[in-house]
C-alpha cells in the first residue's frame, strides 16, 4: 500500500506533496527536521492523502498533484 500525501507548513506558505509506504514515519521525519528538503518549513500538518495499491499508480497521482494548480487548491484546505 502506498500513500500520496500533502503537508502544509504551519510557519510558511508551502505545500509539500510526495508518496510513501509508511505515512506515520514520514510525518515524523518531516516534523523532526530529518528531511533536508523540508527542514526549513517545519512544522507541518497533513492536509490531504490518498491510498493506492501499487507504487506506479501512486507515482502517477503524485506527479499530477505536484502541478502548481493543485498546489494552489491545496493551500486553501
What's residue 21's pLDDT? 96
Residue 29 binned pLDDT confidence (cut-offs 50, 70, 90): confident
Residue 2 binned pLDDT confidence (cut-offs 50, 70, 90): very high
Q: How many domains does the chain contain in total?
A: 1
Among 21, 25, 23, CA closest to 48 = 23
Walk across the sheet containing 15-20 and list its strands.
15-20, 2-9, 44-52
What's residue 34's pLDDT? 75
Cβ-contact 2, 51 below 8 angstroms: yes
Cβ-contact 62, 68 below 8 angstroms: no
> What domain range includes position 7?
2-75
pTM of the model: 0.83
Domain of 18, CATH number, reads: 3.40.1440
Amino acid at each position: 500500500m502506498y500513500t500520496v500525501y500533502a503537508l502544509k507548513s504551519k510557519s510558511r506558505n508551502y505545500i509539500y506533496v510526495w508518496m510513501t509506504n509508511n505515512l506515520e514515519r514520514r510525518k515524523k521525519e518531516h516534523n523532526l527536521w530529518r528531511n533536508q528538503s523540508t527542514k526549513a518549513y517545519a512544522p507541518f500538518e497533513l492536509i490531504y492523502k490518498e491510498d493506492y495499491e501499487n507504487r506506479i499508480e501512486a507515482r502517477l497521482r503524485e506527479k499530477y498533484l505536484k502541478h502548481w494548480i493543485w498546489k494552489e487548491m491545496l493551500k486553501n484546505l
